[in-house]
Each structure stands twice: as C-alpha cells, then as structure tokens.
Amino acid sequence: MKVIETKNISRTYHQGEIEVKALNNVSIDFEKGEFTAIIGPSGSGKTTFLNAIGGLDKPTSGKVIINNTDITTLNENKMIDFRLKNIGFVFQAYNLIPVLTAKENVEFIMLMQNKPKKEQEIRAKQLLKDVGLEKQINRRPNQLSGGQQQRVAVARALASKPQFVLADEPTANLDSTSTSDLLDIMQTLNKEEGMTFVFSTHDQRVIDRASRIITLEDGKILSDVKQ
C-alpha cells in the first residue's frame, strides 16, 4: 500500500540572479512499512526532498500525495494539522524544548493534539521506557547526552502515532553505541508496528540497515535499489 507518492516535484531557489534547482522532477512512491535511506553528496537534494514530503517546504511544482491527500494544496493551518496527525520528525539537531523535561517534550505533541492529560502521561512514560530512558524522564535536555537527547526526539516523533517517520541525518552526532541502539529501536517499531521510516543520511551504519536505498544527485534520482 502506497503511503507517499511524489509526482514530478521540483524545488527551485534563487541566490541573487542564480537559479538553483534543489529537486528536479522527482517522482517516487513509498510503500507502508519501508525502511528507506536516501543518500547522496551534500547539495544533492536529500533534505529538500524530506522537507517536501513532510510538508515543511512546498515544491515549486509537482504534487506530494500522502494517504490520498495532495498536501501541496493544503493551506498552512491544514498542513500543520495534517503533520500532527500523520508525520513524525527526527532532526539532526534534536530540536527539543530546553525548558521542558524529557517527558514534557514527548507530551508536547500530544498536548497540541488535545489528547487527555492522563493519556499524554501514560504514553510519554511508555515511549521513554521503550527507548531506554525511564530513569531520565524528569531531566531537561542539557542534563542528557547527545544520544539520550536523540532518543527523546525519537520518542516525541512517535508520540502522535504517526503513519511514518522522517529522519534527517538522525545519527550524525551520535557515537557507534548510541547509533546502534537508536536503529534497533526504529527497526523494532518498523517490524512490529509496520511504521514507515524514511532517512536522509550519509551514515553507512544507517545505509547497511535500510531495506531500500535511493540515491539523489543534483536533485534527481540516480538509483533506487531494494536490498
């Protein structure tokens, strides 16, 4: 079952008088339950592509269809609501809220979804336990290691029970042990819950675990290989 379809999406930026085509007529589909790595050199369009399918950036042309909804036609408020209900994000920079504890960071998405407080608390505690942080739930980001912060970010991404998770260089700042642990967690969710993961990455450790590898170069698909 297709969960994401892109149809001839392009994204053009202007740097002064220079036109830069970050994406160039990219058409590709993602099936439910895939564990996909998008690779390519810096400037190849990986992050731009991830932002386009996550609704964080609108393509200059083309369509992005998620669960039969063309998200390129949604206004800003509807797009925010759609992301809340369908998409989990994991960023290289973690993007945790500094003044909130680990538990409160995970609860925040559910707060925005107007979930009951008790439900927020139960799910946040369970997710943090799942990522091995049950003893750190009341610590703020500056009291956690990089690996621990990224685990909180993963728990937060999963809090909304998303259809799929988009991860932009999620292991770039992590050591080997933290990377392995994080990928174990994601693969377990992928296999047991059928959650779809799409990574942009340079990390061979992620690439080795992916079931599908898409290579971008100069904003175009160079290759698309299932392994």
Instruction: Encode pLDDT of 82-132 as tens digits.
Output: 998 899 998 877 889 999 999 999 999 899 888 999 999 999 999 898 888
Report pLDDT for 176: 86
Report pLDDT for 186: 87
Report pLDDT for 215: 97
Report pLDDT for 150: 86
Poorest-confidence range of 60-69, 145-154, 169-178?
Answer: 169-178
Report pLDDT for 160: 82
User: How do residues 152-203 score in pLDDT, each as one tens digit?
Assistant: 998 898 888 888 899 998 888 778 888 888 899 889 888 888 889 999 999 9
Record the pTM.
0.89
Hey, what CATH topology would domain 33-51+75-226 get?
A: Rossmann fold (3.40.50)
Name the more confident of 173 and 25. Answer: 25
Six-digit token pair at 38? 């998008």
Poorest-confidence range of 24-28, 88-92, 217-221?
Answer: 88-92
Mean pLDDT of the chain: 91
Report pLDDT for 67: 87
